[in-house]
Amino acid sequence: GIQVEQSPPDLILQEGANSTLRCNFSDSVNNLQWFHQNPWGQLINLFYIPSGTKQNGRLSATTVATERYSLLYISSSQTTDSGVYFCAVLTGANNLFFGTGTRLTVIP
């Protein structure tokens, strides 16, 4: 089956710093979503981005489908950005398959 690997697995940032999270996938995909799971467990949609680049405030994402990776950029990080970031891809079986996650901690 498809492999979805995220890096780094853990990241600690000082408030105000920038970061890049990476998602590599082993097969072609038709859909890719980025989620933020907050400390209360709620999965929050960040981007629906099968290809190209999107921006939303301090966050932006780029997916290069032909090279099988996606990047999530967080600028001027805030403590409320803490949590786990997941990318999820639609597999050939038409199921959304989640990556391993990046746990982000932003310290004041």
Partner 1 sequence: GAGVSQSPRYKVAKRGQDVALRCDPISGHVSLFWYQQALGQGPEFLTYFQNEAQLDKSGLPSDRFFAERPEGSVSTLKIQRTQQEDSAVYLCASSLVPDRGSEQYFGPGTRLTVT
Selection from 49, 51, 71, 73 nearest residue 60 by Cα: 73
The footprint of partner 1 on residues 7-46 (CB under 8 A) is 30-31, 33, 35, 40-43, 45
- Of 19-27, 57-65, 66-74, 88-96, the segment contacting partner 1 by CB under 8 A is 88-96
With contact defined as beta carbons under 8 Å apart, do 32 and 50 qualify? yes
In this complex, which beta carbon is closest to partner 1, that of residue 25 or of residue 97? Answer: 97
**Should residue 82 be labelled a site residue for partner 1 when binding is judged by CB under 8 A?**
no
Q: Is the peptide bond before 8 cis (omega within 30 degrees of 0)?
A: yes
CA angle 46, 75, 14 (to 5 degrees): 115
In the list 8, 18, 92, 96, the residue contacting partner 1 (rule: CB under 8 A) is 96
The footprint of partner 1 on residues 39-78 (CB under 8 A) is 40-43, 45, 48
